[in-house]
Structure 1
C-alpha cells in the first residue's frame, strides 16, 4: 500500500469538504519541500489533463515498480529476450520511444492488449492503491473540464480510479494511448490528439498535471500550461508553471 509521507493517501482524512482542503494541505506541508505555491491565473483555461500513474496516486504505492517487473518478465518469457539483456533493452526503448510498449511494437510487432493483460491487468490494484476521499473532493470541486491523459490503456486507468474510489464520471473522458493512435507522450502528436479529443482549439487553454519531466517539457514546448507533480527534478521546477508534491495541493495553485 502507499506509504508516502507528503499529503498522501495514508495521511488523508476519511471525508473532507473542499472548504477544509486549503487548511489541510497547508498544515501538512513538509517544511523541507520545494513546493511552489504559485497561484496560476488561467481565466481562459478550458480543460485540465491528469496523468494517471504516479500522479493520481503517489509513487510510494509501488505500482510502477511492479509494472516494470512485469514488463521484464513479459520480455523474457513471451519474447524470449535473454534475462541479461532485458534491463538494458527496456531502458533504451523507454528513452527512445517514451514507453517500452512503443519500442516493442516497433521491434516485435507485439499485440498491445496481450501486453497489457500481462503487465497491468494482473495487478492487485486494491492492495497497491488506497482510497483517497480528499483527492476525490478536490477533483469534484475543480471547476474545469477534466480528463485523464495516460500512456497506459483505458482499463488500467479505470482500475486505478476504482482503487482510489474516484468516480470515472468526474472526468469527461479517459484519453489513453489507443485514443491518440499510440503516439504516446512525450510525442507532440500525443498532445495535439488530446487537445482535439477534448475540443480545445488552443494549447494555452490546456493545463497538464504530470510527474514526468519529459512529458511536461514536451507539453510546455507546444504552449500548454504545466504543473509538475511528485518528485520531479530541479529541471522540471525551472520551466513548469508550478510544482506540487501531490494533487492534494491543487488548491495552492488553482483558485476556485
Structure 2
C-alpha cells in the first residue's frame, strides 16, 4: 500500500508522543510564561496574545519576532528548564520506525534541542536521519510553503515518494497538494482512509504495522 514511499516525515509533539502528556503541559506553560514576561502581562493575557500570534503568524515565536524584537534563543530558553524525564521509552514506536524503509526525518515547529531531548527519551535517536526545526526554517513554520520548500530542499526529498505524519491537519494540506502521502495522527477512528493518499489514525505504530 505504501510500497512506493522511501522518505518518512514525522512531526514531533503530539505525534511521536501522545497529546495531553505532561511534556505538552510544560511546553504550554513555558511559552505562556515567556510571553507574559516579554509583553508584561499575566498568564491570561499571555494566552490571548498567544492565540493572536499563532493565528496571524503560525507560531508564538514567529509572531513575537515579527511584531517585536525578542531574540529567538531567549524565547526558546524555557526549553532548558523542561523536565524531559516525564517522557518514557516507547518500544512500539521504536519498532514501528525501525520497520520504515528508507530515510526518516523529524520536521517540527519546535527547536532541534527540544527534538533531540524527546527523541532520546523515546529511544528514537538512532532511528532518525535528520531534524528540521523552526530555526532551520528561518523561523517560518509549518504550514507555510517557505518552510516546506526549505525542508524538501535541505534533505532532497521527492514529495511523491514521501509520507508525512502530523497531529495538525492544516500542516498536511500543502504536502498533500505537492504529492505527499499524508497521515493525520489524531483522536477518532483507529484507521481511516480520508481520500486518495490521505489517512487518519489514532495509532501511529499500528498504522505502520498494517501498511508496511
TM-score scaled to structure 1, two decimals?
A: 0.75
* Partner residue, 1:241: 198
* Partner residue, 2:37: 77
SS state at 2:80 partner: coil
* Partner residue, 2:179: 223
1:145 correspondence with 2:103: yes
Deviation at 1:85, TM superposition (A): 2.6
Quick one: distance in 1 between partners of 2:210 and 2:145?
25
Quick one: distance in 2 between partners of 1:149 and 1:213?
15
Map 1:158-197; keep pairs closer than 5 Å.
Answer: 158-166=116-124, 168-197=125-154
* Partner residue, 2:60: 100
Deviation at 1:46, TM superposition (A): 3.0
Quick one: distance in 2 between partners of 1:152 and 1:42?
30
Identify the structure with the greater strand proportion: 2
Deviation at 1:72, TM superposition (A): 1.4
* Partner residue, 2:159: 203
Deviation at 1:41, TM superposition (A): 3.4
Quick one: distance in 2 between partners of 1:164 and 1:141?
16
SS state at 1:105 partner: helix
- Aligned structure 1 segments of 4 or more residues deviating by more than 3 angstroms: 81-84, 236-240
Structure 2: give runs of 5+ residues left out of the alignment.
none
Quick one: distance in 2 between partners of 1:189 and 1:245?
29
| Bigger relative contact order (CA 8 A; separation at least 6) | 1
Q: Given the alignment, which residue of 126, 141, 163 partners 2:85?
A: 126
Q: Given the alignment, which residue of 60, 68, 74 partners 1:114?
A: 74
SS state at 1:85 partner: helix
Residue by residue, what CA displacement relative to the aligned partner does 1:63-120 show, whole Å, maximum 9, x if unpaired?
22321222111111233135543222111111221111110111112111111112x2
Deviation at 1:222, TM superposition (A): 2.7
Q: 1:95 to 1:231 in 2, by over 3 A?
A: farther
Moved more, 223-232 or 180-189: 223-232
1:91 correspondence with 2:51: yes
Q: Given the alignment, which residue of 46, 52, 55 partners 2:15?
A: 55
Structure 1: give runs of 5+ residues left out of the alignment.
1-39
SS state at 1:148 partner: strand
